[in-house]
Structures are given as C-alpha cells and as structure tokens.
Chains A and B, each alone.
Chain A
Amino acid sequence: MHIPDGYLDWWICVAMYVISAIVIGYSIKKVRGSMDGQRIPLIGVVAAGIFAAQMLNWPIVGGTSAHFVGGALAAILLGPYAATLAMTSVLVIQCLIFGDGGITALGANIFNMAIVDVFVGYAVYKTFKKYGNIASFLAGWLGIWLAAIACGIEIGVSSTFAYKIWVTVPTMGIWHGILGIIEGIATMGVVAYINVHHPEKMEVAA
C-alpha cells in the first residue's frame, strides 16, 4: 500500500503532508506529557517489530497479495498517539533508507497507514473490546480496509490514474477487504498473546 512518487497529483501530496503534520504534531504533544522513560523503548520495539513484519510479503497463489501493516496493532498496544508516531517512524525509514514509498507521497502514506489504520483500528477495538478477541480481529481488518479505501481515493483523484476513482476505490477496497482478514487474524493473535503473557504492557487494557 506504499504509494511511490508519480502516483499522486501535487495538490494531494501537499494536502496529505499538511494533514499528517498536524496529526503528528498533536500526537507528539499528547505523548510527551504522559511519557516516562520506560515507554519510549517500548514504542521503538513495537515499531521495529512492525517494520520486520512488513518485510514479509504473503505468498498467495495468484500473486495479488499484501503484507502486514500493523497500524491497528500498534494502536491497541500503545494507544493511538504513540502508535501514530511508531508507524510514522517506520514509514519514514522505509522511504528514506529503502525507497519504499515515494518522498512526495510520504504524507499520504503516513495518513493512510499511520493515521487512518491507527485511529480506525483503535476506535473499533474500543467499541468491541467487551466481546473479547473479536475486537482486535475487527480492528486489524477494518483499519486496513479503510486505509486502503483512503489510498484508493487519493490515487483516484490524481491525473496519473486518469481520475478513475470508480476503478481505484473498488480495486483497493475489495482486495484489501479480503486480504485484511489476514491482518485481522495476525492482529488478534499478537494481542491475545500479549494479553495473556504481558497484560501490563497493554495500553488499552490498563
């Protein structure tokens, strides 16, 4: 879902940079006050784990596939503001060091994967938490689904995609709606494991 350079019109690049910068700035403000020294390395470990998981492209027969994104998982483990910062750090390093996602599209990639996936995932988890493990499954699934639709809209209003938003949104939405089930299962598995073995590490559980 990492958008490369050349896909987005300039105005959407700028708009996404502005929105993402505002949310990141607000997240830093929120996290700063509540952060003791012990939590910062924890955010780093979650970010590193998500980076590693994103390297594993799922080999699915037919070829159309994805990899874990992890915004919802980060939100459940760290809370949405720290999660946005963790995901942003992953995306910035992927972009600058590995050329994964374009520099001009970095604002949009942060918006989709570090903001939409994170905050949707968090809201879904909070809403369904009382029903148990299904909450983290739905958070992972719906978070990635809406992130993909956001991506579909951004490319769909861009000239490179011939403004075919009626093609891009269904392509992104349907595929990631299906593939997102895997994201949901992985999210649920990790959350369930940490809930059992390290409940003290759970931000939302606290």
Chain B
Amino acid sequence: MKKAYVAIAIMILLAPLFAWAADKVGYSEPLENAAEETGAEENQSYSGIFPDYTVPGLNPYISALITGFIGVAIIVAVFYGVKMAKND
C-alpha cells in the first residue's frame, strides 16, 4: 500500500510537467477531432468546483498539482468511508 501511495504522489507531482508538455504539442483527444470533423459543439452546463482541474486565480500547473492531490484525497476518503460504514 505504501508503495502505491508513493507511486500516486509521483504521478501527481509529474502532472504539472505533463500539463505543460501537452500544452506545447497542442494536445487534443480523438473525441475532439471527431467533433471538429462533424461540426459538433459541446455545451457544458456544469463545470464542477475546480473546472478542468483549475483553481481560480492560480496558474494551470500549480492548479494541476493541487487538484490532483484533492482528487486523490476525495477518492481515498470515499473508500475509507465505505469501509467504516461496513464495519458498523
């Protein structure tokens, strides 16, 4: 378990670097390409608490780092919550 958490922490620490590199190459997913080819437009009505892994007022790379740790913390907390509920 400890090694898994270390691996997760390393991935999150790398997130800003990947965000920067993806920006450099103009990252776009095949789904976005399909939308472009057919003229489809998205219409996101709800953009979340940290829209697209950004924290308002912070640059996107620091944001990626912070939101990465927030996401991991929420997921781990949810499953520990389930475990505790089950033990009651």
Cβ–Cβ < 8 Å partners of A58 in chain B: 18, 22
Tell me the interface secondary structure of chain B in the complex: helix
Q: Which B residues contact A (CB, under 8 angstroms)?
A: 1, 4-5, 7-8, 11-12, 14-15, 18-19, 21-22, 24-31, 33-35, 37-53, 64, 67-68, 70-72, 74-76, 78-80, 82-83, 86-87
Contact string against B for A residues 159-183, beta-carbon threshold 8 Å, 1 for contact and 0 otherwise = 0111010011001100110010000
In the complex, the 8 A-B pairs of residues with the closest C-beta atoms, listed nearest first: A44-B79, A6-B43, A99-B48, A59-B21, A175-B30, A99-B47, A63-B26, A57-B22
B79 contacts A40, CB within 8 Å?
yes
Known: A6-B41, A52-B68. A59 touches B48 (CB 8 A): no
Within 8 Å by CB of A43, from B5, B39, B44, B79, lies B79
B67 contacts A63, CB within 8 Å?
no
CA distance A94 to B52 in the complex (A): 9
Q: Which A residues contact B (CB, under 8 angstroms)?
A: 1-7, 35, 37, 40-45, 47-49, 51-53, 55-66, 89-90, 93-100, 102-104, 148, 151-152, 155, 158, 160-162, 164, 167-168, 171-172, 175-176, 179
Determine the residue in chain A with the shortest Cβ distance to B77.
A44
Given A98-B52, A104-B45, A171-B37: 12 more A-B contacts, CB < 8 Å: A4-B42, A4-B44, A6-B41, A6-B42, A42-B1, A49-B4, A58-B22, A93-B74, A151-B31, A155-B31, A160-B41, A164-B38
